[in-house]
Structure 1
Amino acid sequence: MSISRHASATPATWREVPVPEQHLPLPWPVVARSQELAAGERFPPHVHAWNQLVFATEGVLQVTVAHARHVISPQQALWVPTGTVHHTGALGPAAFRNLYLADDAALGMPSQCVVLEVSPLLRELIVELGQVRPKDDAAYYAQLCALVTAQLRRQPQHTRHLPWPQDARLQRWCQALYDQPADARGVDAWARQLGASSRTLARQFERETGMNLRAWRTRLRLLRAIEWLAQGRSPTLIAHELGYASASAFNYMFRVETGMSPLQWRKSRAA
C-alpha cells in the first residue's frame, strides 16, 4: 500500500463541530464532559475560562496549541491552562472524555501545556466522574473531584510535542513532511523548492522551532508512529511509511525515544 494512501488516514480536511456552550462559573471544582468524535471531526480554535484536561478513553487525538502539535493516544492527556487558545481533533473515532477544572492555587498544575501519562486509576476516576450526577450524591461527587485533582498532580509529565513554525513558507514545508514523513529530502532540496538559500532556511527553521531539521523529523516520525500504532498498524508497515530502511532501524529510534519497542508500547497500552 502506498505512502500517500496511508497518509490519508490523517484527515486532509477537518470537519469542524461546534464548541460546547460555556457556562460560568463552573458548578463544581471539576466537571466531566463526554462526546463521541468521528474521524476527522475537530473543534475550531477556542479558549476556556477554566483549565481543561484533554483526554480520550479510545482513539487518538491531535491537539494544536499555539505553534505546537500534540498527538494524544489513550493513557495520555493534555493539560491546557485557562485562557489557552487550542483546537482538538480526532484522527480516528474517539471517545472524548475531558475535564474542566476551575482555577485554584491548590491545584499545583503547570501554567503551560504539558502531556500527562494517565494511570489506570485516574482513567477510572474520570469515567466515574462522568457517570455520577452531582445532585444525586453531592458528597460522593465532591470526593471524586478531590481524588481527581490529587491524582493529576501525581501523573508523570513530559513536554514531548511537535513545534510548529509561524512563517507561512516553513508551515508549508512542515505540513508536507507531516503528510509524507518518508520524504527524506534535506534542507538544500527544500530550499530550492521554497525559493530560499539553504543557510537562511535552516537558520529560520531552528529559530522558530527550537530544533534542527534532523531532530524535528525524528520527533515527527515518533508522533506519527504513536498515532499509527494506536490505530493498529504493524511496526513493519509503519517503518516503511516513515521512510526507514528497515524495521530494526525504526525499532531502534522508537526504543531510544520511549524506552520500549513499538510492540511493547502497544502491549502496555492494551494492558
Structure 2
Amino acid sequence: MSTTCQHREKPARVPLAHQERIDWHDHADHQLVSVGTGVLQVSTALGSWVVPPHRAVWLPARVAHAHQAYGPTELRALIFRRSVNPLRLDRPTVLAVTPLLREVIAALTDESEELRPGPQRNLERVARDQLRRVEALQVHLPALADPRLRDVARLLGDDPGDGRTLAGIGAAVGSSERTLSRLFREEAGMTFPQWRTQFRLHHALTLLAADTSVTGTAAACGYSGPSAFIHAFRSAFGTTPGEYRQPVSSSG
C-alpha cells in the first residue's frame, strides 16, 4: 500500500460522487472527518468505518487512510495541529456528533462565507470543547489478516443476508467452526455474531445511501423484518433508518 502526504492547512469541504474514491494518503496534522450528506467509508490499516451524517471519524496525524463515497457525499474535514488533541486519542475512532458540533463543522467548512479570524477562532474553541464531550463508538470493522477470515468476509460481502451458521459458512470456505470462532476473537476482538452484526449494519448504510427502502435494506442484510433492523440500527447509530434516509440540513 503506497501513500502520499497531503498538506491541508484549513477546514475543507469536498463534494464526492457516488462510489468516488480518494486513494491512500496521510496528513501531517490530526483530522476530524464527517459528512454533510451521503455516506463515507473510511479505511485504515486497522479496519474500516462507515460514517453517516450523525457520526465523524478522528484520524490522528500520519495515519494512512482512504475514502469511498456511497451516494452523493459531502466530506467535511477540520484540521488540528499535532499539539492539539482534545480527544487524547492515538488511533482512528468513530464519534457521535452532537447537533452543536455538526453546526460548527458546517460553519467552519462553508466555503461560500469567508470567516474573519476572530469568529473562526471562537468556532474552533467550541469545536475543541465539543470534542471533549463526544462519545467514542465501537462501530468499526477490524481489518482481517487471516485468509480464512477474508474468505468469510468475501462470502458475506456477496450476500450480507446469508443466514448460515458459522459451521455452515466454515464448510463453504473449508474451515472448521471452532477455528473460525477462535480467529474472529483473536483478530477482530469480537465473536462472529458480533462481527456479522457490524458487517450488516455497515452494508445497510451503503444501501440506504443508494436510496434503498428500509424494508428492502432489512431483507438484504438478513434481518427477520423491519422492526429487528430498526432496533439494531438505532442501537448502533442513534437514529432510525427512516430518519437517516431523510436529507439532513446543513449550512452551505
- Matched residue, 1:99: 78
- Matched residue, 1:65: 44
Q: Which among 7, 14, 18 is matched to residue 39 of structure 1? A: 18
The amino acid across from 1:76 in the alignment is R
Report the TM-score when normalising by structure 2: 0.84
Structure 2 residue 146 is matched with structure 1 residue 167: yes
- Matched residue, 2:7: 22
Structure 2 residue 158 is matched with structure 1 residue 176: no
Asked which structure has the greater CA Rg, the reply is 1
> How much is the aligned-residue C-alpha RMSD, in angstroms?
2.8
- Matched residue, 1:211: 190
Give the 3-state SS of the residue equivalent to 2:77 in structure 1.
Answer: strand
Q: Is the 8 A contact 1:165 1:208 kept in 2?
A: yes
CA shift digits 1:104-133 (9 cap, x unpaired)? 256344222221222332222222223354
- Matched residue, 1:191: 170
Q: Is the 8 A contact 1:57 1:96 kept in 2?
A: yes
Give the 3-state SS of the residue equivalent to 2:104 in structure 1.
Answer: helix
Quickly say closer, same or farther: Cα 1:196–1:157, change in 2 above 3 A.
closer
Shift of 1:53: 0.9
Instruction: Determine the C-alpha separation between the residues in 1 that align with 2:27 and 2:121.
Output: 22
The amino acid across from 2:146 in the alignment is D
Give the 3-state SS of the residue equivalent to 1:217 in structure 2.
Answer: helix
Instruction: Determine the C-alpha separation between the residues in 2 that align with 1:236 and 1:34.
Output: 33
Q: Is the 8 A contact 2:39 2:205 kept in 1?
A: no
Q: Which among 83, 87, 91 is matched to residue 62 of structure 2? A: 83
CA shift digits 1:61-107 (9 cap, x unpaired)? 01112232211001211011112122111012111111121122563
Q: Which among 106, 122, 134 is matched to residue 101 of structure 2? A: 122
Shift of 1:261: 4.6
Give the 3-state SS of the residue equivalent to 2:11 in structure 1.
Answer: strand
Give the 3-state SS of the residue equivalent to 1:45 in structure 2.
Answer: strand
How high is the sequence identity, in percent, across the aligned residues? 34
Quickly say closer, same or farther: Cα 1:230–1:117, change in 2 above 3 A.
farther
Q: Is the 8 A contact 1:164 1:174 kept in 2?
A: no
Instruction: Determine the C-alpha separation between the residues in 1 that align with 2:240 and 2:114.
Output: 42
Could you list the runs of 5+ residues in structure 1 that have no partner in the other structure? Answer: 1-17
Q: Which residues of 2 match residues 211-230 of structure 1 at below 5 A?
A: 211-230=190-209
Report the TM-score when normalising by structure 1: 0.78
Shift of 1:178: 3.0
**Matched length:** 246
